[in-house]
Amino acid sequence: MQWISRHKRHIIVLVITVIFLGFLLRFNQIDRIGLYETDGTSYERARVTEVIRDNETESGNLIGNQVVSLELLSGDYKGNTVEAVSSSSYLYGAHCEPGMRVIASVNESDDSLYVTVYSYDRTWVIGAIVLLFLITLCVIGGKQGFKSAVSLIFTFVCIVFLFLPMIYRGVSPILGAVVVAILTTFVTMYLIGGFSSKSITSMIGTIAGVGISGVLAVVFGKLTRISGYNVSDIEQLQYVGQMTNIDIGQLLYAGILISALGAVIDTAMSVASTINEIHFRNPDLSRKELFVSGIHVGKDMMGTMSNTLILAFTGSSINTLVFMYAYNYTGLQIINMYSIGIEIIQGIASTMGVILTVPLVSIICAWHLKLKSREENHTSLGGSLQTEKSEQYF
């Protein structure tokens, strides 16, 4: 019976997965508005066959553009050899050498081609790096590592194929982030612990913790008079907002929700697992004792997770920090910059969500475990009384 139950559960999960994938395929059938002219332009793989004119000086500096010969490896002109220009920009182009694989921008106009080198072809290298990460996770983590890899892939799919289409269709980015957080939390907890007390309490604690982060971010934004329109690339975002249905002002808070999700999930599951293990070893502990144990375990996690989030947000803004240090900005000027205010709000709101997740999960888990134990004892006692009555009757 247990095997049949597990077999049925796997079938249900498979059916839900197929339905979800079918929904995503249909949901992503969107006619996106072209924000810039792309007619006649495509990006293709190519191989450098010859450097016709180099741009490297005797001192080793790169000045001007290279003129190279490329063999196109994909697209309508696959197999053709064309002449292309490669710039020496830090963001675009590449310093080409014979045999190098590159990405070429092919512009077709009036039966003629204008080809430029867009970038190095990093497709296979990036793919290999991701594959190495997943293999390492599965080898070191075993079965749980494989489940973690599946969870990561599911999160990526939700963000790219669910969250982005949702906000493009005009759905509130905050609502979209909440949907992604709930789905990701549910799948992650199910993969790690199945349908158990540990997983259920972790799910509730994670959703509550992420919700707290979002609410605090909005409150902090109101108090500091900082909104989603104060980000550095707002000019480009406003153009996107004017041309599409995306609510640009909510993107900042949606990002905070998503960025806090990983740390909150980790904290919630760790605290719930610990309390469950303590209760299993000593079922006689009261709710208060289980709650206190969860708090004690969570104290260490508060420090490590807080550092993790703060350092992550600091690392993402390291270029801004270096710029301000080099130009000798004053402290009063720095603390009142929009970019610094946004980073502080993101870091503090996310960290507060993690910190408050500890008591939330502790109290929910302690209450649920003792309630479950009471029900089990009541059921066991009822069964014993029924057996005793039956024996007396006979």
Asked if the model's pLDDT at residue 149 lies above 60, the reply is yes
Say if residue 56 is in the same domain as residue 162: no
Of 315 and 27, more confident: 27
Choose among 299, 307, 310: nearest CA to 359: 299
What confidence score (pLDDT) does residue 37 get? Answer: 63
Does 66 share its domain with 139? Answer: no
**Looking at the 3D structure of the chain, how many domains does it have?**
2
Residue 245, domain member (yes or no): yes
Tell me: do 150 and 116 sit in the same domain: no
Same domain for 115 and 141:
no
- Are residues 203 and 67 part of one domain? no
CATH number at residue 320: 1.20.1640
Residue 382 placed within a domain: no
Which helix (H) or strand (E) segment is 184 a member of?
helix 173-193
138 and 50 assigned to the same domain? no
Tell me how crowded residue 357 is: count the other CB atoms within 10 A of its CB.
31
In a domain, 3, yes or no: no
Task: Residue 76: give its domain's CATH number.
Answer: 2.40.50
Domain shared by 188 and 96, yes or no = no
What are the tens digits of pLDDT across the range 4-56? 466 777 788 888 889 999 999 999 988 877 766 666 788 899 999 998 888 77
Supply 302's token pair.
């508060």
What pLDDT does 124 receive?
92
85 and 207, same domain (yes or no)? no
Q: Are residues 155 and 219 in the same domain?
A: yes
| In a shared domain, residues 113 and 224 | no
DSSP 22: H
Q: Would you say residue 394 lies in a domain?
A: no
What is the enclosing helix (H) or strand (E) of 377? helix 338-393
Query: What are the tens digits of pLDDT across the range 84-115?
Result: 998 877 788 888 889 999 999 998 877 778 88
- Tallying the residues shown for the chain, one arrives at 394
Residue 139, exposed/middle/buried by CB under 10 A (0-12, 13-18, 19+)? Answer: exposed
- Tell me, yes or no, whether 247 lies in a domain: yes
pLDDT of 49 reads 92
pLDDT in tens, 359-376: 998 898 888 888 877 766
Q: Which residue has the higher pLDDT, 3 or 239?
A: 239
* Domain final residue, candidates 73, 92, 121: 121
Q: What is the pTM of this model?
A: 0.80
Residue 83 lies in a domain: yes
Same domain, 295 and 345: yes
By the 10 Å C-beta count (0-12 exposed, 13-18 middle, 19+ buried), 253 is classed as buried
Percent of the chain with pLDDT over 90: 20
Q: In degrees, to the nearest 5, what angle opens at C-alpha 285 toward C-alphas 281 and 286?
A: 150
Residues 293-303: pLDDT tens digits? 888 888 877 77
Residue 372 lies in a domain: no
The number of CA neighbours under 13 Å toward the Cβ of 63 is 5
> Which of 90, 121, 152 is the endpoint of a domain?
121
Q: Based on the domain organization, do 226 and 197 belong to the same domain?
A: yes
Asked if pLDDT for residue 126 goes beyond 90, the answer is yes
Give the domain extent around 65: 41-121
Indicate the SS3 state at residue 105: strand
Per the listing, tokens 């080793």 go with: 60
Asked whether residue 373 is assigned to any structural domain, the reply reads no
Please tell me whether residue 172 adopts helix, strand or coil conformation. Answer: coil
36 - beta bridge partners? none
